[in-house]
């Protein structure tokens, strides 16, 4: 099995220049198995032969490795902590320092639901506050198709199922069978393409200087091998403010403990850097 995986990795690198060895082996194998089922081939060895003879399949395999699933208010516990505790405390802290803006980065935004969910929470907090504080959300993804979807902000009825009627009314415009994100929150979100493993920049160029107060890197880390996973976290650590929050997926909490981060609330997947690491 290791030999087969090594051959697939070597061929894809040679043919496309894409190094897929960065992905966790179990994720790679599952992706190959899904391609085998889709194509109706009978074995992994037969799939390798097909891959070598087809540039189209090389592209298809590469495409299947791009994680592009997202939901509004995914992980309800995390968003409850953000709504009730993290954001109010952050707004209060910024006001005391007379700072004018909260900066948030959705680091693997897919089609944008995460970023727009955060914008809704910020808007609701501003609406109940006397503060003149503003916010800016940088949303990035490696996949240009996902970036385009996030920029458009158009979602089907099924995709807005996690949003209550009040929020749908306040922050979306109904267009046939779809919902369009309102200009009110769309203007606060800056979407761009960015590779978290690129060595060219440690933070998205659209953010200018980083200094984020909250970074979401949720349900992405477990797809990578430890070396690359740690590289992503190191990059994020370079562009956050001193007391910033880093939000991961529920299944990624163990990685953060290993890297010396402290979970702010139990089982929340919301972390801060330990004092000695700041």
Domains, in order of start, for the chain: 2-64 (no CATH), 76-277 (3.40.50.150)
Residue 123 dihedral angles phi and psi, to the nearest 5° = -60, -40
Task: Give the predicted TM-score (pTM) of the model.
Answer: 0.91
pLDDT attached to residue 278? 46
Cα angle 112, 245, 76 (rounded to 5 degrees) comes to 55
Two tokens at 30?
A: 């599952």
pLDDT attached to residue 276? 47
Q: Are 58 and 47 in contact (CB under 8 A)?
A: no
From first to last of its 278 residues, what are the pLDDT tens digits of the chain?
A: 568 889 999 999 998 888 999 999 999 999 999 999 999 998 889 999 999 998 899 999 998 998 778 999 999 999 999 999 999 999 999 988 888 899 999 999 999 999 999 999 999 999 988 777 899 999 999 999 999 999 999 999 999 999 999 999 999 999 999 999 999 999 999 999 999 998 888 888 888 777 899 999 999 999 999 999 999 999 999 999 989 999 999 989 988 998 889 999 999 999 998 754 54
Length of the chain equals 278
pLDDT attached to residue 1? 56
Rounded Cα distance, 179 and 163, in Å: 11
CB within 8 A of 148, min separation 6: which ones? none
Q: Are 102 and 133 in contact (CB under 8 A)?
A: yes
SS3 of 57-111:
HHHHHHHHCCCCCCCCCCCHHHHHHHHHHHHHHHHHHHHHCCCCEEEEEECCCCC
Two tokens at 238?
A: 């370079």
Q: Are 50 and 41 in contact (CB under 8 A)?
A: yes
Rounded Cα distance, 155 and 158, in Å: 8
Under DSSP, is residue 194 helix (H, G, I), strand (E, B) or coil? Answer: coil
pLDDT attached to residue 275? 52
Rounded Cα distance, 63 and 255, in Å: 26
């Amino acid at each position: 099995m290791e030999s087969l995986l090594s051959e697939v990795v070597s061929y894809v690198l040679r043919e496309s220049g894409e190094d897929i060895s960065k992905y966790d082996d179990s994720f790679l194998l599952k992706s190959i198995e899904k391609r085998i089922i889709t194509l109706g081939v009978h074995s992994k060895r037969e799939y390798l032969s097909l891959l070598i003879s087809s540039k189209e399949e090389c592209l298809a395999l590469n495409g299947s490795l791009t994680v592009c699933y997202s939901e509004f208010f995914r992980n309800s516990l995390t968003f409850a902590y953000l709504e009730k505790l993290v954001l109010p405390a952050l707004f209060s802290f910024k006001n005391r320092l007379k700072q004018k803006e909260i900066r948030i980065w959705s680091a693997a935004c897919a089609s944008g639901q995460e970023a727009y969910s955060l914008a809704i929470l910020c808007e609701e907090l501003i609406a109940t506050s006397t503060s003149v504080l503003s916010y800016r959300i940088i949303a990035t993804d490696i996949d240009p198709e996902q970036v385009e979807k996030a920029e458009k902000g158009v979602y089907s009825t099924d995709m807005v199922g996690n949003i209550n009627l009040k929020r749908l009314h306040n922050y979306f415009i109904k267009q046939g069978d779809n919902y369009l994100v309102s200009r009110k929150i769309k203007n606060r979100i800056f979407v761009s393409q960015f590779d978290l493993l690129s060595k060219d920049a440690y933070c998205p160029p659209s953010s200018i200087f980083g200094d984020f107060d909250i970074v979401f890197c949720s349900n992405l880390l477990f797809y990578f091998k430890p070396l690359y996973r740690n590289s992503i976290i190191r990059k994020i650590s370079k562009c956050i403010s001193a007391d910033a929050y880093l939000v991961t997926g529920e299944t990624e909490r163990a990685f953060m403990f290993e890297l010396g981060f402290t979970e702010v609330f139990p089982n929340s997947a919301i972390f801060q850097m330990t004092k000695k690491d700041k």
